[in-house]
Each structure stands twice: as structure tokens, then as C-alpha cells.
Chain A
């Protein structure tokens, strides 16, 4: 059986040079990073790389046999698309191994200007079927596609079987319940969205107000996203993870604060032939990146050696649980108990 298994590449987030070092030193096969601007989907203050840092990061990663993937996964602006095209040029000049892209305008630029550059289709391109992936492969030479976090294992297997290119899936981290690249909830409330600004529920639009009874209101763009009791743990008011009223009942109407963790599915993902597993979290600390990478490295290595006997180790589970949103995990759409 083991000759059928494909050992997936472990792709880890780097929001800073320190995080990049942590990931590479903990055994990442590849790291992904973005520039300090709106050309990537983690456009947060204090995060991401300038040119010199990309160069340093590439040198460190390549020195240890790891790849550097640059995320260029927002949509070029109608008024001035040039920063997206310059970012592609930079990826080449600074030695990135591949570009993670979502916008057909950017893909076309890369095909024309940098035909040798490897392109990965970002999750933000929302390709949920083999036909969608084939559209981007045939027109732009995409060599790998990252699947939205919405497909079941069976559907992932179907896509892998019917696609001629490599498939990457999310393994761990924050969970979008909406199809990536197809959600404008954030801009409806704040004017800024993942597609148009590389952010969701931006901190600049968040207001916390403590009430006389000790409860705390969390508002985004003026809209009450959640109200926490005085003794209740508070989460960041990501729009889709708040509590709302439906038919007079207050509930997490869209998604509960929880994280994706697919470690127990590793043998199945390997049997399916998934080429790479992505860890989410460029906005997280270098410590998070180091610990999560180390846990996944060891899990992948053990699953490769003995897929049938594989189970996540207690230490790995504990590390991942400590980093989960709301300290809770789900297999997300891969399992879909709600189906």
C-alpha cells in the first residue's frame, strides 16, 4: 500500500522573517510569504516582507532545502494594477520558487513576462472543480491548485483524480466557512474585503464598548457582531463568527469560532494523492509557526513510514489545540457531519 502513497509537501506560513526561520528550522518543505502591501490576502499592519527580507528569507530557506512561495493573491486594482505586476516581477528578481495567484490579470502578466515562473492557483481563485482548475491550467499554465476549504474528502479525491496538476489542501488553522475569494461580507460593513484590500473584518473598523453591567460589545463598522458577558471569553469580531438573532434566537448563525485540524486524516490525504498540505496563519507569531510546523513535520514523517498505524501523537494534538481558535477543532468540510 505504501508505494501508492504520496508524501505531501508541508507548506507553512511566514508573516515575518522570524516566522520564516521558525518554519524552515522546524522542517517546512516550503514557506509562503507576501509583500507589505495590498497585493496579498494578509495585508495587516506590522506583517509581511520588504525586498531585503524576501532576499534574506529566500537565502535561509534555499540554504536548508526549502522553497519560498510568494502570495500575490488579491485582485489588481482597476485604478492602478501596476503594484500587482511589479510584485510578480519582484518574485522573480528575489528568487521565489513560485507565485500563488488568484487574478487572471496577474496570471496573464506572468505568462507574458515570466514564462518560466511556476504558478500556483490561490485558494482565493475559488476553483472548486477539476473543470475550473483546467480553465486556469490550459490558459495560464498553473502547476498547482490550492482547494477552497469547502470540499469533502471524497470531492478532494475526485478533483485530484481528474486534474493533471498538483493539488494542495489546507491542513490546519483558521477556517473560512465561506468559499474563499467569493465573500464580500467584510466590505459590505467596512468597505474592505479580502478581494479588494487583502483583509477581512479589519482591526481599524473594530470597536469594543464595555457596558455598565460589565458586558462588552464588539462592533465592526458599527454593526454589533457579538456581545460578551462580563465573565465570557472574548474573541476577535470576525464577521462570520459572531452571534446573531435568527427567528428570535441568538446563535452563531454562520460559524462558531473554531479551527481546522485535519491531522487525523493524513493517511487518507496521502492515499488520495494530495501534493501539499498548507498550514494557515501568516498573521500568527513565530512561536505558533515553529510549534505547528514541528508537530506536522513529525506527523507527516510518521504517516509516511506507517500509514496504517498512524494516529496523531498526544503531544501534537496538545500543541495544535493550544493554538486553535476558541480552543476548538473541526475537520471542517472534509467530514461534514452537517451534511
Chain B
């Protein structure tokens, strides 16, 4: 997977930067928790922060004006800010929210589905979100000329496929003829599916439209184990996630060889700022991954770990790096 050209470049020069992106908070956190969290992110090594509610339209602890205000604060702290659209668009209200995101001119917007592509194309700098089905270079080319600046690869893509789709040596050109940046899901529970049905409400025996926001008490989602008690998936409202945290901290050279420019770290309720600092240290000061990962469970970071998708294996598989 590593090309000779890349290896020699690494040996002569400082390591190519792998920027850190804080993905949108996928859980239903109270307003104060969200504001505290982003105050911490402002002082973190993250370069980019993606803001917005992408899972459930009923979650409104922060609304668009709040997200915009938060975005400005993070921008003042030196962060690049991206607004994210909802992953599953069903209603006219959902479409109106995307329209409002398209009308603002302060931030780039990450498209969560084809509705967003239709409403955002050519109007704002566009990030191609991880839930768009871009599985080949031909598909990426189809999306690049919508004004795209960055592509977040689908979660199930292996790194060698990522390199084929947006090759480091001849990247696909996006908005303004600039090379399209590649981002991959490098830390966090993986969003594996979306439904209109809320599985959290279903578990609690309440209707979706009068759910009482029961998911507010699941800061890292609601664990769903197999019948023999093994952690398997996590219910997060209409989204179903892996219980295991995908972690590519030990894959720095493979990530660089695949032309990856930034790593998406998906927030968890506890220990996340330390995870950010650890990624920064390991990636840019050539630290070792294993010792820092061993320390994470004590901080409350969820586990176990998986890195199979990057290697053409089941996503839940874990290989020591």
C-alpha cells in the first residue's frame, strides 16, 4: 500500500500533516454539555470542527442560530468550521433547514444526502459527507464539480480503495481547481445505518413524536448486546452505531500513503479531548499508539476497538498495528 515515492518523501521531510477534524456530536447532549464540550475543542489540536445535528430533527438543544454563533467562536479560536446537514431528510422542514444552511455564507457545509447536494451545489463550499455513496473515482468526479473541497470517505471503504478513488499522486480536483482533500473515519463508534424509526423510543415503549427525549440520558448511545452479553451495536435514536470504536491511530503511515489529509474523530462523552491530544502527539511526534490507547478506558472512552474496514475485513475486526 505504501508507494516508494511517499516513503522517501517521509524519510527526508517532516511528517506530512494529518489534520484532525472533530465530527458532529452524534448523540443528544444537553445544551450546556454541548457548549462545554466545544469550549474544550476550541483549545484542542483539532483543525476543523463540524457542527450541527445530523441524526434527529427533533433534537433541538441548539438551533441553527446557536450553531452559527458557536461556529464564529470556534473560528475566532482558529478553527475551520463546517456545518453538517441531517443525514436522513424526510420532511419539508428538513429541506428548509438545509436551505437556511445554504443561504449563510460564513461556513462550508457538509452534505449528508442527495437532497443537500441538490440544495447546496454551487452555493457554498461543499464537503462530501461520509453517508454519500462514493465508492469509485468516477463517482467522486461526479461530485467534485458541485463545489466540493473535501471528501469524507464512506466508513466501509478500505484505505487502498480510498487511495484509488482520490490518489495522492493525482488527486481529483474540486472547487476552484484545487485538489480535493480526503478525510477518513479514524476514531469513534461508526454510524452503520439510518432508519426513520427511532430504536431508542421503541425500546422505551414510547412513540417517536412524543418520545420525551429519552435519548438525552444516553450520552454515548444505548448499548445493544448480543444474547450472550457481548457488546455489539449502540442505538442512537434513528441511527445504529457499532459498539466498538473504530480507531486508526496506529495506521499513520498507511493513512499518509493513501493520501489522507485529515482524520475524523467522532465525539464521545468522556475522554475525548485527551483522545484528540493523543492523536496529535502520535501522528506528529511519532509517538506509539498502543500505550495511549491502553490508557483510554480509564478515561471513560468506549471500547472495544475495531480497524477492519481499513483492511478489507469486517469493520469489527481488530488487528494490532
Contacts and interface: CB of A to CB of B under 8 A. Distances in A.
Contacts of A246: 203, 222-225, 235
Nearest to B243: A188
B225 A244 contact: yes
Contacts of A253: 199, 202-203, 224, 235
Contact of B115 (A75, A135, A190, A249): A135
Interface residues of A, number: 67
Main secondary structure of the interface of B (DSSP, over half): mixed
A53 B14 CA distance: 59
A335 interface: no
B90 A185 contact: no
A103 B135 contact: yes
B114 to A, nearest CB: 4
Given A79-B161, A105-B138, A244 B232 contact: yes
Interface string B194-216: 11110101110001110000000
A78 interface: yes
Which among B91, B162, B208 has the greatest number of chain A C-beta atoms within 10 A? Answer: B91
B250 to A, nearest CB: 20
A251 B235 CA distance: 13
A3 interface: no
B89 interface: yes
B88 A224 contact: no
Contacts of A226: 227
Nearest to B244: A188
A182 B95 CA distance: 19
A153 interface: no
B28 interface: no
Contacts of A76: 135-136, 138-139
A208 to B, nearest CB: 14
A288 B89 CA distance: 34
A131 B115 contact: yes
Nearest to B165: A78
B181 interface: no
A128 B87 CA distance: 11
Contacts, number: 210
A163 interface: no
A183 to B, nearest CB: 4
Interface in B217-276: 222-230, 232-233, 235, 240, 242
Contacts of B118: 131-132, 134-135, 138
A178 B194 contact: yes
Contacts of B157: 78
Contacts of B137: 78, 81
Interface residues of B, number: 70
B12 to A, nearest CB: 30
Interface string B141-164: 111000000000011110011101
B62 interface: no
A179 B114 contact: no
A179 B196 contact: yes
Given A135-B118, A150-B195, A187 B89 contact: no
Interface in A223-265: 223-227, 240, 242-247, 249-251, 253-254
Contact of A155 (B91, B190, B233): B91
A112 to B, nearest CB: 11
Interface in A178-199: 178-179, 181-185, 187-191, 193, 195-196
A177 to B, nearest CB: 5
Interface stretch (B37-45, B281-289, B313-321): B313-321
B55 to A, nearest CB: 12
B49 interface: no
Contacts of A150: 88, 90, 195-197
A125 B131 CA distance: 11
Contacts of A177: 195, 197
B141 to A, nearest CB: 8
Nearest to B135: A75
B192 interface: yes
Contacts of B107: none
A129 B235 contact: no
Contacts of B232: 223, 244
Contact of A128 (B113, B134, B143, B223): B113
B312 A191 contact: yes
B199 A254 contact: yes
B46 to A, nearest CB: 26
A307 interface: no
A221 interface: yes
Interface in B76-126: 87-92, 94-95, 98, 113-115, 117-119
15 contacts: A79-B161, A103-B133, A105-B136, A127-B114, A129-B94, A129-B115, A132-B114, A136-B114, A189-B314, A191-B314, A191-B315, A195-B133, A223-B232, A247-B222, A336-B196
Interface of B: 87-92, 94-95, 98, 113-115, 117-119, 131, 133-139, 141-143, 154-157, 160-162, 164-165, 190, 192-197, 199, 201-203, 207-209, 222-230, 232-233, 235, 240, 242, 308-309, 312-316
Of all A-B residue pairs in the complex, the 7 with the closest CB atoms, nearest first, are A105-B138, A132-B114, A75-B135, A135-B118, A183-B193, A78-B161, A131-B115
